[in-house]
C-alpha cells in the first residue's frame, strides 16, 4: 500500500508542479504581450463572438501567425485573417475578395456566420495575423480569465499554495513514519 501511495504522491506532485508552470506561462505571456499568450512565433487569440461559427466556436482559442511587410499584400480569397478595424478592435474574418484602390490592396472580409460582408474594407497594412487552422475549444474563456487581475492572482497563487499544502502533508507523513520507526527501535532495544 505504501508503494501505491508513493506513486500517487509523486504523480500529484508532478501534476501540481506542471500546472503551476503552465499557468505561470499563460499569465506571464499574456501580460508581456499585452494581450493573448504567444509561443514559438505564434499567437493564441480568444474567440469572443460567434461570427466565424462553425469554423470556430465562441470561447475557443485559435492559433495565428503574425503577418508582416509584403506578406500582408499576398493574402488570398479564403484566408482567415486577424485585422484591426476602424475602432481599433482586433477582428478575425475570412477574405472574400481582394480589391485595389490606387496602389493600396484592400480586402473585403466576412464572418462565416454573418449574412453579409463587413461594411468596411480592410487595408492590407491593418492585417496582423493569418489563421493557421488550429483551434482549441473552450480555452478562450480560461485565457480571458487569466488576463484579468483577479484571474492572474488566483492562477499564480492558487497552484503554489496547493503545492505548499501538499508538501506540508507529505513532510508530516514522512515525520510520522520516522517517529514510528524510532519508537519501534526503542521498544526492540528495551526488550533485548
Q: Would you give the distance in Å from CA 49 to the centre of its chain?
A: 17
- Of 33, 49, 148, 182, which one is the catalytic site residue? 49
The rounded distance, in Å, linking the Cα atoms of 93 and 75 is 13
Residue 65: its H or E element: strand 61-66
Query: 149 falls in which pLDDT band (50, 70, 90)?
Result: confident
The rounded distance, in Å, linking the Cα atoms of 12 and 2 is 15
Residue with cell 486577424: 82
In b/e form, how buried is each residue of 46-83, taking b as 16+ CB within 10 angstroms?
bbeeebbeebbebbbbbbbeebeeeebeebeeebbbbb
Taking the alpha carbons at both ends of the chain, their separation in whole angstroms is 30
Q: What is the pLDDT of residues 60-108, one digit of tens each?
A: 888 899 888 888 888 989 999 999 888 888 889 999 999 988 888 889 9
pLDDT at residue 77, rounded to an integer: 92
Give the residue-averaged pLDDT of 44-65.
85
Active site residue 49: yes
Q: Is the pLDDT of residue 192 over 80?
A: no
What percentage of the chain reaches a pLDDT higher than 90?
A: 11
Amino acid at each position: 500500500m505504501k508503494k501505491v501511495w508513493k506513486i500517487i504522491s509523486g504523480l500529484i506532485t508532478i501534476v501540481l508542479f506542471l500546472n503551476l508552470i503552465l499557468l505561470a506561462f499563460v499569465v506571464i505571456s499574456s501580460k508581456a504581450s499585452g494581450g493573448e499568450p504567444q509561443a514559438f512565433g505564434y499567437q493564441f487569440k480568444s474567440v469572443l463572438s460567434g461570427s466565424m461559427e462553425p469554423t470556430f466556436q465562441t470561447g475557443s482559442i485559435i492559433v495565428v501567425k503574425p503577418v508582416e511587410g509584403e506578406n500582408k499584400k499576398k493574402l488570398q480569397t479564403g484566408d482567415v485573417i486577424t485585422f484591426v478595424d476602424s475602432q481599433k478592435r482586433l477582428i478575425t474574418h475570412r477574405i472574400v475578395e481582394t480589391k485595389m484602390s490606387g496602389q493600396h490592396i484592400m480586402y473585403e472580409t466576412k464572418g462565416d456566420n454573418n449574412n453579409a460582408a463587413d461594411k468596411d474594407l480592410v487595408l492590407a497594412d491593418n492585417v496582423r495575423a493569418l489563421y493557421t487552422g488550429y483551434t482549441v475549444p473552450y480555452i478562450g474563456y480560461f485565457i480571458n480569465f487569466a488576463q484579468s487581475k483577479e484571474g492572474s492572482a488566483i492562477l499564480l497563487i492558487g497552484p503554489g499554495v496547493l503545492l505548499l499544502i501538499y508538501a506540508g502533508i507529505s513532510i508530516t507523513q514522512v515525520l510520522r513514519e520516522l517517529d514510528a520507526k524510532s519508537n519501534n527501535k526503542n521498544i526492540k532495544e528495551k526488550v533485548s
